[in-house]
Amino acid sequence: MTAKARPVRLPGGVSLRIERRALAVGALLVLAAFAMSVLLIGTGDFDIAPWDVVQTLFGNGTPANDFIVNDLRLPRVLVALLVGAALGMAGAVFQSVTRNPLGSPDLLGFSYGSAVGALVVIILLKGSATEVAAGALLGGLLAGAAVYLLAYKRGIHGYRLVLVGIGASAMLVAVIQYLITKAQLVEASRAMVWLTGSLAGRDWAQVWPLLVTCAVLFPLVLGQSRALRMIEMGDDAAYAVGVRVERTRLLLMLAAILLTTAASAAAGPISFVALAAPQLARRLTRSPGANLLTAALMGSVVLLLSDWASQRAFGADQLPVGVVTGLVGGVYLLWLLVTERKAGRI
């Protein structure tokens, strides 16, 4: 598992400023993600001991274990890892670009755009899972482009972007609701599961597109991290040190929208990970700024934990993982609003 995920993370390992605390936090998060993955792979209808899981992952397992681990459970865990990382990094980018801890894709309307795309395919076209993913990708990109263009007025201002996103979200929600009322109950249920975000039944078909997206976009975003830090200090300051602000911002936002929609396409709009992971990362590393790589790792850990909770915490009923992130995220959000207000940041 890590053999596949590690090359993606390597560019950050040679990031420009290596701080000891950030490095320690990063290492801990990698360990935590690995431990959670082994735990997740090992639990289910047929439990496998952690050591056997590790053995099997490195190709030394029994044929039965090999089938369960590599064909059934590993893809789901990989999707969780990648979706979490993509959402974490996208959230960090958005929060830096909008200079607002709440400026995450959850609140900007892109997720709703993906949802509209997916629902059109589910309800109107009755399409397959792959077609649903394509619809989600297209919908998210269109919504992202529309919000960017509507918010553009001699440059993008963070607050305007957030508020335009809120307006666009309201309209997209109306479309979603219209589609749901039009549907038969069976399709409405399928749509609701998609809307909540779920990792159930994910296989290698979802892993590969996500992996490729992350492999292309992570280095690109990380390469802009210094410019992003400058933009955070204000457009004027960034111009002064030679950052081409509008172009960098467009590039970074495009990458973040792509990451978000790719994640939505694979697992549905899983809420609050993009919002929470960057904030948690920032608090753990105690360093200001975007903490892109830590945020991505934190996203993976948060999603894996949520997935474990969704399978375990409610007895026989397996909830979609989006329900867990939604419930935990709601509480977290209230806390964030209170602390941010005390600190005078929003």
Partner 1 sequence: MLVESPPESGPSAAPPPDAVARPRHAARAAGLAGAFAVLALIAVLSIAVGAKQMPLDEVWHGLFHYSGTTSDVVVRDLRVPRTLLGLMVGLGLGLSGAVMQALTRNPLAEPGILGVNAGAAAAVVSAISFFGASSLSEFVWWAFLGAAVVSVVVYVLGGSRSATPVRLALAGTAASAALVGYINAVQLMDSKALDKLRFWTVGSLASANMDTVRQVAPFLLVGAVLALSLGRPLNAMAMGDDTARALGANLTRTRVGAMLAITLLCGAATAACGPIVFIGLMIPHLVRVFTGPDMRWVLAYSAVLSPVLLLGADVVGRVVTRPAELQVGIVTALIGGPVFIYLVRRKRMAQL
Among positions 64, 192, 216, 237, the unique one binding partner 1 when judged by CB under 8 A: 192
Least distance from partner 1 to the Cβ atom of residue 333, Å:
5
**Nearer to partner 1 (CB atom), residue 30 or residue 327:** 327
Least distance from partner 1 to the Cβ atom of residue 81, Å:
23
Q: Does 201 bind partner 1 (CB under 8 A)?
A: no
Among positions 23, 173, 215, 233, the unique one binding partner 1 when judged by CB under 8 A: 173
Distance from chain centroid for Cα 189: 24
Among positions 51, 58, 67, 159, the unique one binding partner 1 when judged by CB under 8 A: 159
Q: Residue 156 and residue 113: Cα distance in Å, rounded?
A: 20
Cβ atoms of 36 and 84 closer than 8 Å:
no
- Say how many residues touch partner 1, by CB under 8 A: 50
Q: Does 145 bind partner 1 (CB under 8 A)?
A: no
Q: Does 107 bind partner 1 (CB under 8 A)?
A: yes
User: Nearest 5°: phi and psi at 121?
Assistant: -70, -45
Q: Does 312 bind partner 1 (CB under 8 A)?
A: no
Q: Does 175 bind partner 1 (CB under 8 A)?
A: yes
The contacts found for 315-323 with CB under 8 angstroms, 24 or more apart, are: 318/200, 320/193, 320/196, 320/197, 320/198, 320/199, 320/200, 320/268, 321/80, 321/197, 321/198, 321/199, 321/267, 321/270, 322/195, 322/196, 322/197, 322/198, 322/267, 322/268, 322/269, 322/270, 322/271, 323/196
Q: Residue 227 and residue 249: Cα distance in Å, rounded?
A: 9
**Nearer to partner 1 (CB atom), residue 90 or residue 168:** 168
**Nearer to partner 1 (CB atom), residue 26 or residue 320:** 320
Among positions 167, 201, 223, 288, the unique one binding partner 1 when judged by CB under 8 A: 167
Burial letters 179-204, b for 16+ CB under 10 A, else e:
bbeebeeebbebbeebbbbbbeebee
Query: Which residues of this protein are in contact with partner 1, per CB under 8 A?
Result: 100, 102, 106-107, 150-151, 153, 157, 159-160, 162-164, 166-171, 173-175, 177-178, 180-181, 185, 188-189, 192-193, 195-196, 271-272, 317, 319-320, 322-323, 326-327, 329-330, 333-334, 337-338, 341, 346
